[in-house]
Amino acid sequence: MHERDDPRVPVPDDAYSPQRDDAYVPVPDDAYAPPRDDACAPPRDDACAPPRDDARAPGRDDAHALVRDMMRIAVVDYGSGNLASASRALALAAERAGIAAEVAVTADPAVVAQAHRIVLPGQGAFADCASGLASVRGMREAIETATAAGTPFLGICVGMQLMAERGLEHAETPGFGWLQGDITELDVPGLRLPQMGWNALDFTPGAHPLLDGLAPGDHTYFVHSYALTGGAPDEVIATTDYGGTVVAMVACGNRAGTQFHVEKSQEVGLRILANFLRWTP
């Protein structure tokens, strides 16, 4: 039983008190006044006018134009390489260079084929990286076709080594064949392998656009036991010293590579990546 149905509940003293004086507030004199003269006025001439050209909010066409204007950078995902580090470094380099860019880590050959820049990271053994790349159907062909058409390419570490004619790590494995020479084990008696740490670059200032803003002696980060040997002098743009001269950077046409981890080389690496994004070979 609800409380209000209980006869034992006392009724408040004011339950039936007279209504307040304002219970029937008089109606204002103008409550039924005739409408104002302009209440039914015809609409203004411009009431249905089309919006001004500059009043239109950005729509899909504008978004598509923005996407078209952005640089598309493809970081090839074939199961090897510091993909996240490379993509973050490329995005930061683009931002610092004032370049509107979209960085995609992708295993889709169609995305690589349509990219404005192709980056191939790599770490581990030459043969394993070559096998991993071959396992992504159509990827090697997409890279070869796009770069043959002029798309700038950057190989990082083993990604650079794959540019050579062949790798001799564990077995003889064909590379892309873009660079003269083989990938062989470093011959550095008394020094530790892999070469791991910061090493100075040696190059001729102005020798290549990828080196713009750098100075001989700038340090980059290396982790490797194998390197390019027998390369063509005009394809080697920078070296380092580790028990002898070691190839550090290469370039042939629109294809370039760094033996060091450019994505881990801090300010020097970011400068090289920005140069790569500006590069128009």
Rounded to the nearest 5 degrees, what angle is found at the Cα of 134, between the Cα atoms of 172 and 157? Answer: 65
Measured distance CA(228)–CA(231) in Å, rounded: 7
Whether 256 is in a domain gets the answer yes
pLDDT at res. 68: 60
DSSP 100: -
**Residue for token pair 């670059």:** 201
Predicted TM-score of the model (pTM): 0.77
**Residue for token pair 């899909």:** 60
Sheet holding 101-106, edge to edge: 101-106, 71-76, 117-120, 153-156, 255-258, 245-252, 236-241
Whether 83 is in a domain gets the answer yes
Out of 208, 224, 252, 261, the active site residue is 261
Out of 129, 169, 208, 263, the active site residue is 263
CB atoms within 10 A of CB 12: 8
Whether 5 is in a domain gets the answer no
Dihedral sign of CA atoms 238, 242, 245, 251 in order: negative
Whether 54 is in a domain gets the answer no
Measured distance CA(205)–CA(202) in Å, rounded: 9
pLDDT at res. 81: 82
pLDDT at res. 69: 77
Out of 129, 157, 235, 252, the active site residue is 157
42 prior amide bond cis, ω within 30: no
pLDDT at res. 60: 52
Measured distance CA(188)–CA(170) in Å, rounded: 18
pLDDT at res. 275: 98
pLDDT at res. 80: 87
Token representation of residue 45: 């001439």
Structural domains counted in the chain: 1
Q: Which residues contact 247 (CB under 8 A, 6 or more apart)?
A: 227, 228, 229, 231, 236, 239, 259
Whether 272 is in a domain gets the answer yes
CATH number of the structural domain spanning residue 182: 3.40.50.880
pLDDT at res. 161: 98
Dihedral sign of CA atoms 200, 206, 211, 213 in order: positive
Range of the structural domain that residue 243 is part of: 66-278
Token representation of residue 275: 């140069």
Whether 189 is in a domain gets the answer yes
| Catalytic-residue membership of 157 | yes
Whether 33 is in a domain gets the answer no
From first to last of the 281 residues of the chain, give the pLDDT tens digit: 444 444 343 434 443 333 344 433 343 444 434 444 444 444 445 444 444 444 444 455 544 444 567 999 999 999 988 899 999 999 999 999 999 999 999 999 999 999 999 999 999 999 999 999 999 999 999 999 999 999 999 999 999 999 999 999 888 999 999 999 999 999 999 999 999 999 999 999 999 999 999 999 999 999 999 999 999 999 999 999 999 999 999 999 999 999 999 999 999 999 999 999 999 99
pLDDT at res. 175: 98
pLDDT at res. 55: 43
Dihedral sign of CA atoms 212, 216, 221, 223 in order: positive
Whether 118 is in a domain gets the answer yes
